[in-house]
Amino acid sequence: MAKNTERRDLFPGALEIMILQSLLLRPMHGYALVKHIQQVSDDLLQVEEGSLYPALQRMLREGWVESEMGTSAKGRPTRIYRVTDAGIRHLEAEVASFERMYTGIARVLAFAKA
Amino acid sequence: MSIFSRFFKRRRYEDLSASIREHLESRTEELLEEGMSRKQAERAARREFGNVALMEQRGREAWQWKRLESLLVDLKHIGRRLRRSPGFAVVVILTLAIGIGANTAVFSVLNSVLLRPLPYPEPEQLVSLHLNAPGAPGLGEFRSELRLSASMYFTFAAHNRTFQSLGVWGPGTASITGLAQPEQVNTAQISGGVLETLNVPAFAGQWLTAADQDSHALGRVMLGYEYWQRRFGGDPGVVGRTISVDSQPRVIAGVMPRGFKVVNYNFDLLVPLALDPVDEALAGFAYRGIARLRPGVAIPQADADAARLINVWMDSWTNGPGSDPHWYLRWKITPAFQPLKDTVVGSIQAVLWVVMGTIGVVMLIACSNVASLLLVRADARQQELAVRSALGAGRWRIARELLLESVTLGLLGGAFGVAVAYGGLRLLTAVGPGQLPRLSEISLDGWSIAFTLVLSVLSGLFFGAIPVLRYVLLPQRVAFLGAMRTASAGRERQRGRNLLVMAQVAMALVLLISAVLMIRTFLAMRNVDPGFSDPASLQVMRLTIPETMVPDSTTVVRMQNSIIDKLAAIPGVTAAGFAASVPMSGAEPSWNEILVEGKIDEGDNPPMRLFNFVSPGYFHTAGTRILAGRDFNWTDVYGMRPVGIVSESLARELWGSPGAAIGKRFHEWESMPWHEVIGVVQDVRENGVDQISPATVYWPSLGKGIFGPGIQGAWRSLYFAIRTNRAGTQTFINEMQQAVWSVNSNLPVADISTMQDIYADSMARTSFTLVMLAIAGAMALLLGVIGIYGVISYAVTQRTREIGIRLAMGAQRGELQWMFVRSALLLTAVGVAIGMGSAAALMQWMKSLLFGISPLDPLTYLLVPLVLAAAAGLASYLPARRAAAVDPVVALRAE
């Protein structure tokens, strides 16, 4: 499904972190999530639809997000996703572990340069 | 699944679709704003989004338990589709049921007989003490091994370092009197160590002990389970009772459990051999040995140990004063111990593997036919599949569904196959060779069911893989929406089915060739002169007069003589006689070397000759022709005259011709008087028609020295042969028994059969193989013909339009028919070519089952392809005729 094979894959769980973080700001529907992540990352990250919707379904199943019927900005019916308490806890745990990993990687890279 | 969760799931799926719809519309609007036309924008948005259906499915799968749900949906579809074409479903399931059932049945036999361990504790430790004597010339003509002598047993038992226990045994008979009518029972005569080796505890009472093996006392006996049930009604009180065995009182020590056999011998009574070392010499190679290896000891170590003990044996025993105990070095006695299972299974092993292989090939042919049907179905579904794939169904998803369908068919076939196997097993054990070892152990067990399951799934995957490869994984072009409708490009479409037909023809050819070779083998065996005539009118029975009943040997012969007279007096009897062994009965009277007068140059290691002991008139009764000289007469017998009769092959070997043998003299050892050859009889196939006739010496049944130098004796356990056209009838058997009882009312008669039964038994292995291969060959031929018919028939249907055009253009109907028949014959020809090569290679495996025919018999290799080609021609002619009957107007208007 990759449209651009040169783009590097996200590590496992990264998509979920970004979705949860974005939904912390405000509840959003799917397309808005795609747009939001793209804009905030200055087009560096592009969420593929092929991954987004299955990921949302998985997160619904895990109870990290919940959804309700709502309307989009254009007034069409769609699903609005919202973070749950469990989702916030998961996000915190994931972010903490991601930061540890990032720090680790940064140190190794710095050491290699020195 | 509850209605509730079902409802929620459906709602969730709809939610997902709503999100995706909104997503697409938002993107479209964005693109519209960028200045695209509505149409362009919609298409671009869709393209960016990718495969909607696939994503919806992925999204749904997040909720499903390991995709089980989508599997269930697939199964539901499959069930629906099969219900819609019941004809297809029935044909496929029936074909598979028969194929799988036959395979399961044969596998069950194979498993029970060959694979399952013997029913003794730690059976892998059990070995049979098989000895080879390559230096004993002539022995191989009638024995496959050198049996153990009692002295060997004593040596091995006392000095071995590799066995936990060992013992020797031999089959025998005993007459039981005083219970009901006198009865002849089968005994297993066992030395100490036999029960310890087999290590199966007694069902009631206890084992025979060392005290029972004391040759100076009368040891106790044990009952076999079936005999205990039959004669004592399973009464547990029999232990400790006394019964009369060969007129001697014996105490019953215990009962062995149901199904217990000594190796493969089903006995009524276990009798101690009670060997006395004082009486034993080096010779007397009469016993079968079994042993239990110490843990961790392998057979080669045991062989080496026994090779050492052979030398100890020669150092410690003698054949009497003046004999050289190391004389046996010449025989090069070599231990070749084998796992006990090999001994039990014997020569049936090759047959079972061949039958298994054959049935397996039938299964392959059946699978090819099913695959062929599935190809047609997939062909019909090609548009559906193309549409689904265009709508976003993943390739694997479609492949999975097709495979699931074929595996479902396989499993359904397998389920019915178990029923077929159950019936087939009944049939198989009924038509199987009577001496099929471990017959009573044959059953459908967990392994058979597991085999069925694996076979069902594998065959399902196999015949399912062919349409999958053809239509899903290697799609040759997008056959979209009837693009093919008017084309007549049958060639490419037919390719898969053509390959299958060629494979089928090749496999069918191999099976047919093997079947025909077996038929030729059977006929060749039937044509062999076995050394007796008209076996159906030759009644045989066995009778033993124990020494404990009649001690004097001349009296025994007089009794036997009057039994012959009484038998001959029965109405309808034309002749009667007796012999220590009748051909193919498995009886093993005796063998030794003979010394021939005037032939000292034969070297000091003369060949072994088979011995038999016959009454006057026996040859005439059996229909064994006397080629020169005369038969024994009763004066020879009672006068203990030094005379003998030899077989034709022996006469030719020693003296050049039957005529030249008359008057020549021989003896068994120096102190025996020279015996004069008074007659020469034709060769007899003692061990079966497919075995060579051993060089045989016939002695009178009474003589000085037939049981050892200077010992006068008579042969007491005899087969009586009676020539009568009433052979085998119950009234005759009753009269026969009455005749025997009129001589002595305590004489039981045993092993009543006709020579025809014995003869058929010796052919049983061949006829069993023949029947199985013939069934397999016929099935293969039938399936192959159906395959060819199907392919041509389908081709005709596909090319109806083309045929119409050809006819309209003026093609001759005959030419059109020939076009189709020719294509069938071409496929057959390629299949035959492949099959001939394979058959030539594979038949080498069957060599041991063939007799009097080469595995490359030219007639078979010429005939079978012709028959196959004729069948193929016929199978293709029928649909081809239909092609020629096509009305061009109708054909062209058809689409």
pLDDT tens-digit readout, B227-257: 999 989 999 899 999 999 988 899 999 999 9
Report chain A's terminal Cα–Cα distance, integer Å: 40
Instruction: Tell me what the mean pLDDT of segment B475-498 comes to.
Output: 55
B27–A contact, CB cutoff 8 A:
yes
Q: How many angstroms separate the CA atoms of A21 and B382, rounded?
A: 47
A41–B contact, CB cutoff 8 A:
no
Q: How many angstroms separate the CA atoms of B802 and B232, rounded?
A: 82
Closest C-alpha to B528, from B851, B764, B761, B753: B851
Per-residue pLDDT, B563 = 95
Q: How many angstroms separate the CA atoms of B269 and B272, rounded?
A: 10
**What are the distances in angstroms from CA B608 to CA B374, B595, B689?**
65, 10, 21
Residue B542 confidence (pLDDT) above 70: yes
The verdict on a CB contact (< 8 Å) between A30 and B15 is no
Amino acid letter for position B192: G
Per-residue pLDDT, A52 = 82
Amino acid letter for position B177: T
**Both structure tokens of B454:** 């694996």
Residue B690 DSSP symbol: T
Amino acid letter for position B464: G
Q: What is the pLDDT of residues B191-236, one digit of tens each?
A: 999 999 999 999 999 999 989 998 888 889 999 999 999 989 999 8
Given pLDDT bands bounded at 50, 70 and 90, which one contains residue B181? confident
Residue B708 confidence (pLDDT) above 60: yes
Report chain B's terminal Cα–Cα distance, integer Å: 48
Q: How far is A96 from chain B (nearest CA, A)?
A: 26
B21–A contact, CB cutoff 8 A:
yes
Assigned domain for A100 exists? yes
Q: How far is B394 from chain A (nearest CA, A)?
A: 12
**What are the distances in angstroms from CA B703 to CA B195, B636, B696, B706?**
37, 10, 18, 6
Task: Please name every residue paired with B163 in a beta bridge, in sequence order, or none if there are none.
Answer: B293
Q: How many angstroms separate the CA atoms of A2 and B261, rounded?
A: 71
Q: How many angstroms separate the CA atoms of B383 and B475, rounded?
A: 12
DSSP secondary structure, B405-465, as one string: HHHHHHHHHHHHHHHHHHHHHHHHHHHS-TT-TTGGG----HHHHHHHHHHHHHHHHHHHH
The verdict on a CB contact (< 8 Å) between B29 and A74 is yes
- In chain B, residues with a C-beta closer than 8 Å to the C-beta of A60 are 12, 62
A75–B contact, CB cutoff 8 A:
no
* Substitution target from B23, B24, B66 for chain A, most A beta carbons within 10 A: B23
Q: What is the pLDDT of residues B398-414, one digit of tens each?
A: 888 888 889 999 999 99
Residue B302 confidence (pLDDT) above 90: yes
Percent of chain B with pLDDT over 90: 36
Amino acid letter for position B503: A
**Both structure tokens of A86:** 């469990």
Most confident by average pLDDT, B497-506, B701-710, B824-833: B824-833
Assigned domain for A31 exists? yes
Q: What is the pLDDT of residues B611-661, one digit of tens each?
A: 999 999 999 999 999 999 999 999 999 999 999 999 999 999 999 999 999
Amino acid letter for position B27: R
Residue B213 DSSP symbol: G
Closest C-alpha to B468, from B388, B363, B382: B382
- Comparing CB atoms, the residue among B19, B58, B61 nearest residue A79 is B19
The verdict on a CB contact (< 8 Å) between A53 and B48 is no
Strand B696-700 relative to strand B608-614, pairing: parallel
Task: Please name every residue paired with B287 in a beta bridge, in sequence order, or none if there are none.
Answer: B148
For A:45-64, CB contacts with B below 8 A are 48-50, 53-54, 56-58, 60-61
Q: How many angstroms separate the CA atoms of B688 and B189, rounded?
A: 26
- In chain A, residues with a C-beta closer than 8 Å to the C-beta of B54 are 50
The verdict on a CB contact (< 8 Å) between B22 and A78 is yes
Question: Would you give the distance in Å from CA A19 to the centre of its chain?
Answer: 3
Residue A6 confidence (pLDDT) above 50: no
Residue with tokens 């039990």: B344
**Both structure tokens of B773:** 């291969």
The verdict on a CB contact (< 8 Å) between A53 and B55 is yes
For B:60-119, CB contacts with A below 8 A are 60-63
The verdict on a CB contact (< 8 Å) between A29 and B62 is no
Instruction: Tell me what the mean pLDDT of segment A50-79 comes to.
Output: 81
User: A109-113, B123-127, B165-169, B695-699: which range is least confident on average?
Assistant: A109-113
DSSP secondary structure, B722-747, as one string: EEETTTT-HHHHHHHHHHHHHH-TT-
Q: How many angstroms separate the CA atoms of B661 and A103, rounded?
A: 109
Given pLDDT bands bounded at 50, 70 and 90, which one contains residue B2? very low
Whether residue B613 contacts residue B715, with contact meaning beta carbons closer than 8 Å, is answered with yes
Q: What is the pLDDT of residues A12-46, one digit of tens each?
A: 778 888 888 888 888 888 888 888 888 888 877 77
- Comparing CB atoms, the residue among A1, A3, A29 nearest residue B19 is A29
Residue B117 confidence (pLDDT) above 70: yes
Q: What is the pLDDT of residues B785-832, one digit of tens each?
A: 888 888 788 878 777 778 888 888 888 888 888 888 888 899 899 999
Per-residue pLDDT, B538 = 95
* Interior/surface letters B607-618, b for 16+ CB within 10 angstroms, e for the rest: bbbbbbbbbbbb
Q: How far is B58 from chain A (nearest CA, A)?
A: 6
Instruction: Tell me what the mean pLDDT of segment A35-58 comes to.
Output: 80
Q: How many angstroms separate the CA atoms of B616 and B621, rounded?
A: 10
* Substitution target from A78, A80, A81 for chain B, most B beta carbons within 10 A: A78
B458–A contact, CB cutoff 8 A:
no
Residue B527 C-beta-side C-alpha neighbours within 13 Å:
9
Q: How many CB atoms lie within 10 A of CB B653?
A: 15
- In chain A, residues with a C-beta closer than 8 Å to the C-beta of B15 are 67, 69, 79
Given pLDDT bands bounded at 50, 70 and 90, which one contains residue B305? very high
Instruction: Tell me what the mean pLDDT of segment B845-858 comes to.
Output: 86
- In chain B, residues with a C-beta closer than 8 Å to the C-beta of A1 are 50-51
- Comparing CB atoms, the residue among B18, B25, B61 nearest residue A79 is B18
Residue B852 DSSP symbol: S
Q: How many angstroms separate the CA atoms of B384 and B121, rounded?
A: 61
Residue with tokens 């035959």: B832
B473–A contact, CB cutoff 8 A:
no
Give the mean pLDDT of chain B.
85
Closest C-alpha to B570, from B527, B541, B545, B550: B541
Instruction: Tell me what the mean pLDDT of segment B563-587 comes to.
Output: 92
Q: Kindly tell me the number of DSSP H helices and DSSP E strands found in chain A.
A: 4, 2
Strand B696-700 relative to strand B665-667, pairing: unpaired
Per-residue pLDDT, B677 = 95
- In chain A, residues with a C-beta closer than 8 Å to the C-beta of B62 are 54, 57-58, 60-61
- In chain A, residues with a C-beta closer than 8 Å to the C-beta of B9 are none
Assigned domain for A7 exists? no
Percent of chain B with pLDDT over 70: 93
- In chain A, residues with a C-beta closer than 8 Å to the C-beta of B16 are 53, 57, 79
Residue with tokens 């231990």: B335
Assigned domain for A50 exists? yes
- In chain A, residues with a C-beta closer than 8 Å to the C-beta of B56 are 53
The verdict on a CB contact (< 8 Å) between B62 and A61 is yes
Q: Is the dihedral of CA B870, B875, B876, B880 positive or negative?
A: positive
- Comparing CB atoms, the residue among A1, A61, A78 nearest residue B19 is A78
Q: Name the residue in chain A with its Cα closest to that of B61.
A: A54
B53–A contact, CB cutoff 8 A:
no
Residue B338 confidence (pLDDT) above 90: yes
C-alpha angle B540/B542/B548, rounded to 5°?
160
Most confident by average pLDDT, B18-32, B350-364, B368-382: B350-364
Q: How many CB atoms lie within 10 A of CB B731?
A: 9
Instruction: Tell me what the mean pLDDT of segment B324-349 comes to.
Output: 88
B395–A contact, CB cutoff 8 A:
no
Amino acid letter for position B420: V
A90–B contact, CB cutoff 8 A:
no
**What are the distances in angstroms from CA B559 to CA B564, B583, B742?**
9, 24, 11
Q: Is the dihedral of CA B273, B277, B278, B279 positive or negative?
A: positive
Phi/psi for B215 (5° steps) reads -70, -10
The verdict on a CB contact (< 8 Å) between B25 and A74 is yes
Q: How many angstroms separate the CA atoms of B178 and B163, rounded?
A: 41
Residue B194 C-beta-side C-alpha neighbours within 13 Å:
24
The verdict on a CB contact (< 8 Å) between A54 and B58 is yes
Q: Is the dihedral of CA B333, B335, B336, B339 positive or negative?
A: positive
Torsion of CA B463, B466, B468, B473, to 10 degrees: 150
Q: What is the pLDDT of residues B662-677, one digit of tens each?
A: 999 998 888 888 999 9
Burial class (CB in 10 A: 0-12, 13-18, 19+), B507: buried
Per-residue pLDDT, B1 = 40
Q: Name the residue in chain A with its Cα closest to that of B65.
A: A61
Q: How many CB atoms lie within 10 A of CB B43?
A: 14
Phi/psi for B385 (5° steps) reads -65, -40
Whether residue B332 contacts residue B134, with contact meaning beta carbons closer than 8 Å, is answered with yes
* CATH at residue A78: 1.10.10.10
Given pLDDT bands bounded at 50, 70 and 90, which one contains residue B393? confident
Q: How many angstroms separate the CA atoms of B47 and B58, rounded?
A: 18
- Comparing CB atoms, the residue among B27, B59, B63 nearest residue A53 is B59
A21–B contact, CB cutoff 8 A:
no
Residue of higher predicted confidence among B116 and B250: B250
Residue B125 DSSP symbol: G
The helix/strand/coil state of B865 is helix
B235–A contact, CB cutoff 8 A:
no
Per-residue pLDDT, B63 = 65
Task: Please name every residue paired with B183 in a beta bridge, in sequence order, or none if there are none.
Answer: B176
Q: What is the pLDDT of residues B543-563, one digit of tens each?
A: 988 888 888 999 999 999 999
Find the radius of gyration of the CA atoms of chain B.
Answer: 38
The residue range of the domain holding A82 is 14-113
B565: left (phi over 0), alpha (psi -120 to 50) or beta: alpha
- In chain A, residues with a C-beta closer than 8 Å to the C-beta of B26 are 31, 72, 74
Q: How many angstroms separate the CA atoms of B106 and B421, rounded?
A: 8
The helix/strand/coil state of B780 is helix
Given pLDDT bands bounded at 50, 70 and 90, which one contains residue B601? low
Q: How many angstroms separate the CA atoms of B615 and B564, rounded?
A: 9
Per-residue pLDDT, B602 = 54
**Both structure tokens of B369:** 């036919």
Q: Name the residue in chain B with its Cα closest to that of A59.
A: B62
A87–B contact, CB cutoff 8 A:
no
* Substitution target from B16, B19, B25, B65 for chain A, most A beta carbons within 10 A: B19
Q: Number of folded domains in chain A? A: 1
